[in-house]
Structure 1
């Protein structure tokens, strides 16, 4: 007795198109969009939480106004950690070089002099000054939302593939 086929394809062109769309849904481009969407959620929260100092700072003879830190927080694609085949895409949120002090404020590196005292007070606070840690709390607060943003991008691509 002949065995019945488990599945039949009544529209082979449609099936081929569906496979192509599914391939696109899992492509490097889609992974990049998803990773960038998650990093953008984190970046927005970091910008909201970044402290704004009461005075401008000087570096190499150039004056940077208060708020420079907020304007120098970027999303970037990490080529070194992303795979050549496109199966892994890594995006991050970084502080630009014009706001060099942001890393100091966030990590609390030991420095000397009055600026060091101010930086330490900004990050950790003291009996008179409130702490201003901003990067890690932003990541902690928005990691679920970032994951949802990445999932939404992937789901949208899969839905597009289903609606061939």
Structure 2
């Protein structure tokens, strides 16, 4: 629970003051970097889960190739890999220019396919559900490994 609360506080702090504005220039950068650090591993696990969710070796390889190629074009070290993975898995392209507070920001082109349409929504929901199940499986396995190690250590100590 402490980890969950800490993560939520970091994420909220970044959302509130992590933007580059004159008011938060001296402190906002720290909140943004801390959020980047807290999300580094989850973003990479999401990329791997997305690759697995394609259901094939060639699909997984394609996801990893697109992430390696396109993610650096995105300004976020964590959103870039995740968005590139989704674009590859869905066979679409994401990214482009966005406007934030009147400032145009290029987020790079992620993926090789056509732009997203409403018709892609069903496949995106299916992908998200598959990733959720894969993530749940990884959590259960990790929890089992940790429990087994603790059990072995307690037996050795006794």
TM-score normalised according to structure 1 size? 0.33
Please state which structure has a larger fraction of its residues in helix.
2
Which structure would you say has the larger RCO, counting Cα contacts within 8 Å and 6 or more residues apart?
1
TM-score normalised according to structure 2 size? 0.34
- Determine which structure has more spread, i.e. the larger CA radius of gyration: 1
